[in-house]
Structure 1
């Protein structure tokens, strides 16, 4: 019997930072006390039956074109989701609900609270509440979620500030729990010439970005910065890991600027290849920016890159600075323009000794502060404070 149920539309094998966070976190907790109600995804049956994780998972259709309540599509989605989750609650003896996001999971938690008196907490990621502020309907729904939740878990101090300043949430209700990384898997490595040869990276200076191809990630700004950087670093090679709605536009930009020999789209890769990419790059960059109301909540990839001994660069938006010791393990840059980004990268790549020192310090920093061991203990304490646990 499960005492706590996590509801999350995004969960492996589907890619997404929040899903990866929940997989890593809940997989390290006592599995007999936790159950995950996850959204369906291609390959989910094979993933759920794999023996290399012990998470108990129930799959439901948790995706919808509309998350509001004023459309028939939205109403039907919430009714069906509520009924499906309620059956799991009764079958498994669930006593508390963990909502992966404000929408739609938080609304389902709110409905369960009103109908079954189940206490719930809600994870908040930053970009979710920023986007919802543009809709009166979604804002109204989120305020209902926040008012009845026992705890709101913010993924960064920046997200916590948004909750308190813009959503009138009590300071006492907010807990900050950063996403983390596995310092035993994400580790530094010596130069691997065979891997670099296979990737076409030999004799190249590699800048790496990992993440969904979205406007806020700023891939396009770094691509536009390359012509400025190639004057001094002719072997520069920009490697992009991930997929998303911006891929075709980014590919057109690369072609238009004549940069096909200097930009490599790897798409989605397995974890082993991704770790090797971190280990073999020279600099990790997440040139994120605020795009409308869309922000980067935290930036787990920055923690993973640092664990692999790499200096990192991130945009001055959202909670990315909380992943690093600014100036010691990475730098924060205004990534609105390619000129500013190119200037920052030029300074880093021109000082190999500093880049190496920052990488060494980065590994030390995240191993102490952002390893999952630290987060699991804090999460367990938060969960034990909910309801009757």
Structure 2
């Protein structure tokens, strides 16, 4: 029996969900899983370095709806490719990487050839789907047709139950995790810090796509307040995205060019060095409209490297930490509160060290991929048992 994962986002393409899938499926039996992954310019060199069963195909759609000819044609081409792939490899179950657009492909295959599917939900995806009547309608069909829905956090599970009406027995929670063998603490290294342009300055790190909900703008405002107490503070930002120009302008207008650094997207080894050499980590996320932070894998990565963390109080970020021992949750849309929390941690080296030690222990015990992969395997086997016994599934019309 072969299970097919469909995911547009998969390494080497950057994205938390893609890393999640990579880490889980590479720890499961190769013969049982096939991955239909989106294309990336670096895919050939990347795929030569592993032994996962991957078929690359164009899964990026210009439009996620089906009302337009462009959207309908995009889905049709993808579904036909996937249908041929499923037949060739005798696929008996599908895992959809997101509700949209991959979920529509999975739903179409269930209706056309009878293959059941599970659907991953990340929180922000179902929230933002409600902003479009068509996307909302499509997401309802996908969730209603899934054997199981896999939520990335308790907060996402709550959204699915309370706002989409999914019964509790159809939802399973599977947290993302971190590779605790790669993301490890390291001694302070003057040479690495010099190459990064940090020197001996206290460094606050944020890693993530430059988009509004991540809160980089509020953090830049907070840095202006932090430097009154810690004059040589540096805020280092890893990641790229649509907010880059605006954030650069905000930094310049605030006179903070010497206190804010944009490193862009980094290779994993350089990213790990940033986690290891920074003093603390922030993900100042906030809700923007319906857009939320579903979980926050970067918070796990920072804690695995022995760093205290601060996150915004929206979405599922609180589930990544042991509050207040390893990190704090604040109202990150308030730069003053954010700045006060940062000052309280950076100004107390003893507290920083204690939080860092607790963070490493917390993540190693709760979020190691080696601990989470068996949980994933158990959920996947449950889906197979449900299908064979025909006792767990019926089409469910989720609420509007």
Q: Could you say which TM-score interval applies, normalised by the shorter chain? A: over 0.9
3-state SS of 1:231 partner:
helix
1:249 corresponds to which residue? 246
Q: Within 2, Cα distance between the matches of 1:59 and 1:37?
A: 6
1:59 corresponds to which residue? 56
1:48 corresponds to which residue? 47
The CA deviation string for residues 250-276 of structure 1, in whole angstroms up to 9 with x for no partner, is 011111111111111110111111111
Asked if the contact 1:153–1:177 (Cα under 8 Å) also holds between the matched residues in 2, the reply is yes
The CA deviation string for residues 206-258 of structure 1, in whole angstroms up to 9 with x for no partner, is 00000000000000101011111111101100000000000011011111111
- How many matched pairs? 386
Q: What is the Cα deviation at residue 350 of structure 1?
A: 1.7
2:156 corresponds to which residue? 159
Matched, 1:188 2:191: no
Counterpart among 80, 85, 89 of residue 82 in structure 2: 85
Asked if the contact 1:224–1:338 (Cα under 8 Å) also holds between the matched residues in 2, the reply is yes
3-state SS of 1:261 partner:
coil
Mapping for residues 256-295 of structure 1, pairs under 5 Å? 256-295=253-292
Q: What is the Cα deviation at residue 128 of structure 1?
A: 0.2
Mapping for residues 336-351 of structure 1, pairs under 5 Å? 336-351=333-348
Counterpart among 95, 98, 101 of residue 101 in structure 1: 98
Matched, 1:12 2:11: yes
3-state SS of 1:284 partner:
strand
Q: Within 2, Cα distance between the matches of 1:295 and 1:158?
A: 11
- What TM-score do you get using the length of structure 2 for normalisation? 0.95
Q: Within 2, Cα distance between the matches of 1:55 and 1:123?
A: 20
3-state SS of 1:209 partner:
strand
Q: Within 1, Cα distance between the matches of 2:101 and 2:52?
A: 22
Mapping for residues 1-389 of structure 1, pairs under 5 Å? 3-50=2-49, 53-387=50-384
Q: CA RMSD in A?
A: 1.0
3-state SS of 1:332 partner:
strand
Q: Within 2, Cα distance between the matches of 1:45 and 1:220?
A: 36
Q: What is the Cα deviation at residue 135 of structure 1?
A: 1.4
Q: Within 2, Cα distance between the matches of 1:279 and 1:46?
A: 27
3-state SS of 1:276 partner:
helix
Q: Within 2, Cα distance between the matches of 1:369 and 1:226?
A: 32
Q: What is the Cα deviation at residue 337 of structure 1?
A: 1.8
Q: Within 1, Cα distance between the matches of 2:219 and 2:308?
A: 17
Q: Within 2, Cα distance between the matches of 1:176 and 1:54?
A: 28
Unpaired stretches in structure 2, ≥5 consecutive residues: 389-400
Q: Within 1, Cα distance between the matches of 2:75 and 2:291?
A: 25
The CA deviation string for residues 168-187 of structure 1, in whole angstroms up to 9 with x for no partner, is 10100000000000111111
Q: Within 1, Cα distance between the matches of 2:147 and 2:230?
A: 53
Q: What is the Cα deviation at residue 69 of structure 1?
A: 1.0
Q: What is the Cα deviation at residue 114 of structure 1?
A: 0.6
4+ runs of 1 displaced by more than 3 Å? none
Unpaired stretches in structure 1, ≥5 consecutive residues: none
Q: Within 2, Cα distance between the matches of 1:148 and 1:307?
A: 37
125-134 vs 336-345, greater mean Cα deviation = 336-345
Asked if the contact 2:61–2:75 (Cα under 8 Å) also holds between the matched residues in 1, the reply is no
Q: What is the Cα deviation at residue 307 of structure 1?
A: 0.4
Q: Within 2, Cα distance between the matches of 1:128 and 1:227?
A: 33
Q: Within 2, Cα distance between the matches of 1:334 and 1:386?
A: 39
Asked if the contact 1:203–1:235 (Cα under 8 Å) also holds between the matched residues in 2, the reply is no
The CA deviation string for residues 109-150 of structure 1, in whole angstroms up to 9 with x for no partner, is 111111111010000000000000111111111111111111
Q: Within 1, Cα distance between the matches of 2:136 and 2:180?
A: 38
3-state SS of 2:71 partner:
helix
3-state SS of 2:237 partner:
strand
Asked if the contact 2:236–2:260 (Cα under 8 Å) also holds between the matched residues in 1, the reply is yes
Asked if the contact 1:241–1:268 (Cα under 8 Å) also holds between the matched residues in 2, the reply is yes
Q: What is the Cα deviation at residue 326 of structure 1?
A: 1.0
